[in-house]
Amino acid sequence: MVDPESSIVTVKKAFHLLCEAKVCSRVANSAGNGLPLRAESNEKFFKALMVDIGLISVQLGISSTRHRETANLILSNKGSLAEQFVGQQLRMLQSPLAEAALFYWQRTGGRQGEIDYLLQHGNQVVPLEVKSGPAGSMK
């Protein structure tokens, strides 16, 4: 959680240090029109990806290790947790010493729309949408 009284410069510096320490990674926005994905990325827009789903769980207060208690939780943000988990798995496929090369796409203006991750597979851009609900629940 960020203190609303903090300056943007302080927040940016803190986030940069967390990324340098590999506690989190930046998922950059990309237009995704072609390769390389970084060529059309916009550094002003990004999503944060934590190094471990456990850190997110602790922040949300669902860090109980008792399976019986957590198994029946109705999570309003399970989609975000699933997206974090998938992002962490994608990040694991990359060199841990290199800067993260993860991207997402988001429609600008008008109707809302987002693709959770854009991946390069050979010479193609592959969209990856993460869903946490039962099959057929996508709108």
pLDDT digits (tens, 9 = 90+) for 11-27: 899 999 999 998 999 99
Q: Where are the beta strands (DSSP E) in 40-88?
A: 41-50
Measured CA to CA, the distance from residue 27 to residue 88 in angstroms comes to: 11
7 found inside a domain: no
Residue count of the chain, please give it.
Answer: 139
Q: pLDDT tens across 32-80, in order?
A: 999 999 999 988 899 999 988 887 777 777 765 555 555 555 666 788 8
Domain count, the chain: 1
1 found inside a domain: no
Closest CA to 125 of 48, 30, 45: 30
pTM listed for this prediction = 0.80
108 found inside a domain: yes
Owning domain of residue 64: 24-128
Helix, strand and coil percent figures for the chain, each rounded to 5: 30, 25, 40
